[in-house]
Structure 1
Amino acid sequence: MKEWWLLVGLICIPLMAVYLHIPPPNLSPALQKWYNSGERFNFRGSNIFYRDSFGALGSSDVVILLHGFPTSSYDWNKIWDPLNQRFHRVIALDFLGFGFSDKPRGHRYSVFEQASLVEALLAHLGLAEQRVNLLAHDYGDTVALELLYRSDQNRAGHLTINSLCLSNGGIFPETHHPRLIQTVLKDFTLLSPLLTRLTNYMIFSRGVGQVFGPYTQPTDAEFWDMWTGLRFNDGNLVMDSVLQFINQRAKHRDRWVGALTSTLVPLHMIYGPLDPVNPHPHFIRLYQQLVQRSTITLLDKHISHYPQLEDPMGFLNAYYSFINSF
């Protein structure tokens, strides 16, 4: 019996070692094109990926796109070209720990740092004095609220925000329902290192698929691009650290929700009502109650957590209506 278990161990341990160090997938042609179109700048010793595109002539408007968890700036690919037809300049970045940016291990990721990263990028691009429009989703919503707080404090060196559009972000801890795997990763430090290594494409695609509507599921190629972006620079190994943003939302709720409820910046919410993470109607009722100055677009009842990917034209039309209203 001892020899049998020894044999199993000798076989399984090397196989597990190979599995845990499986190399990341190659970029698809579409993702490679996005990667090749981007640039990089240094932020506190880390390389940050961003895209900066000049579009509409005769306009001086700048829009900054802030993506969600666990994906990247590629979330905006379906509306990138149309935005370039409306705005003079369209800018998107991969936050630290996401997409094509560096993903340092053992790093204490924070919303505050990501907001400083956005400010540093704008300074790098010579736009520190430019009024900018923020368009955010999910994780990016909370980064946008920290930027809003800083802007409204009128502190030197911070952004001047012309408008803020949010979409399907867990901005209220009391109405936010993270996925089970997210809760385990952020709170169970003993399990997290193992789970981040054991997460594979099947687990990832099944989890992400749950926050898309049943009629708006990503294609296999789109799922694969999301997974590839996560695995780039071993991003799966820092998911537990990045997920601390959920705890930060609860800790700093008064700061960020307070900024949202007190600002005079034009506000809009684009909301996919089938979202299980920020479920309808609880989320939208609280938003309407607390943020009475904001306008709201409820998209089709089949649209869920990723409205810019599930209904890009509906998302764009809602955003343009907001931008053209002031």
Structure 2
Amino acid sequence: MREWWVHVGLLAVPLLAAYLHIPPRQLSPALHSWKSSDSVGVVGSPEIVVLLHSFPTSSYDRYKIWEGLTLRFHRVIALDFLAFGFSDKPRPHHYSIFEQASIVEVLLQHLGLPNRRINLLSHDYGDIVAQELLYRFKQNRPGRLTIKSLCLSNGGIFLETHRPLLLQKLLKDGGQLSPILTRLMNFFVFSRGLTPVFGPYTRPSESELWGLWAGIHNNDGNLVIDSLLQYINQRKKFRRHCVGALASVSIPIHFIYGPLDPVNPYPEFLELYRKMLLRSTVSILDDHISHCPQI
């Protein structure tokens, strides 16, 4: 019997090694184009919008609305946060929403826009970064952005109504198990874990999912997902100043909500949002739209 298990083990080792080193599909022409493109917009318009993307994807998840944004704004700026998409993915590293917010500020200084009034358009993880930027704006912190308006979308800004996916819970709280799970993650695991957030009627095609996965897998980004998920704990620890900033600033705030969202479920989320942010306006999309309305 012992000899049988030895043979199984010896067979499993090369199979696991092959699994872990399966090369990802090459970048699609659309993803190549996205990586190399510059921001464009309406000539003569003074408006600038900065896009803050979701977890665990990248700025590429805005590709379907990019043209519409460039027709409205003079300049559209989309970055990949550190450890997302085509950005560097250092490890080990202590990732935080505060570092991501500082990166946004430094980027706009680098682009020569430190004193321009900026519109923020955020989603999911980007909503949490936007809250931190809003807090710095309210506190008049040095180097902070001058925010003209904020538009949020389907982000877990309230702990009380946030329902992380099972895979997120396992990776966030997995301890010694997390490094194993991140190394076992491949396209199949990613697509099966993420598709519930799209709802049954608006799921992306397999090629679109490959594009999202390519951004995660680039530079071994799947190996740092557990570290990135610590933003959930950071949001819990600093809830008061993040939610407080949303509720107290005087700039226009709008929320775009896909009500079929399993992560921020209807009606609990919307009821709490309207209770906490009395001055914010809300757009509720069709009842078949889920967590990722931009896709």
Give the TM bin, normalised by the shorter chain. over 0.9
Give the whole-Å Cα distance in 2 for the aligned partners of 1:20 and 1:164: 41
Contact 1:73-1:99 within 8 A present in 2 as well: yes
Aligned position for 2:258 = 272
Deviations 1:236-287 (A, max 9, x none): 1000000001111111100100000111111000000000000000001000
Contact 1:167-1:270 within 8 A present in 2 as well: yes
Gaps of 5+ in 1: 38-51, 310-326
Aligned position for 1:6 = 6
Gaps of 5+ in 2: none
Kindly report which structure 2 residues correspond to 1:1-326, keeping only aligned pairs within 5 A, or say none.
1-37=1-37, 52-309=38-295
Contact 1:25-1:231 within 8 A present in 2 as well: no
Give the whole-Å Cα distance in 1 for the aligned partners of 2:40 and 2:221: 30
SS at match of 1:163: strand
Shift of 1:61: 0.6
Shift of 1:228: 1.1
Contact 1:24-1:234 within 8 A present in 2 as well: no
Give the whole-Å Cα distance in 2 for the aligned partners of 1:134 and 1:277: 22
SS at match of 1:178: coil
SS at match of 1:223: helix
Shift of 1:6: 2.5
Give the whole-Å Cα distance in 1 for the aligned partners of 2:50 and 2:82: 16
Give the whole-Å Cα distance in 1 for the aligned partners of 2:59 and 2:92: 23
> How many pairs does the alignment contain?
295
Give the whole-Å Cα distance in 2 for the aligned partners of 1:220 and 1:31: 14
Give the whole-Å Cα distance in 2 for the aligned partners of 1:138 and 1:29: 27
Q: Whose RCO is larger (CA < 8 A, sep 6+)?
A: 2
Aligned position for 1:321 = none
Shift of 1:138: 0.2
- Normalising by structure 1, we get a TM-score of 0.88
Shift of 1:146: 0.2
Give the whole-Å Cα distance in 2 for the aligned partners of 1:88 and 1:159: 18
Give the whole-Å Cα distance in 1 for the aligned partners of 2:272 and 2:4: 60
| Counterpart amino acid of residue 244 in structure 2 | G
Shift of 1:98: 0.5
RMSD: 1.1
Give the whole-Å Cα distance in 2 for the aligned partners of 1:156 and 1:3: 67
Deviations 1:158-214 (A, max 9, x none): 100000000000000110000011011011111101111112212211221101121
- Normalising by structure 2, we get a TM-score of 0.98
Percentage of matched positions with identical amino acids = 65
SS at match of 2:294: helix
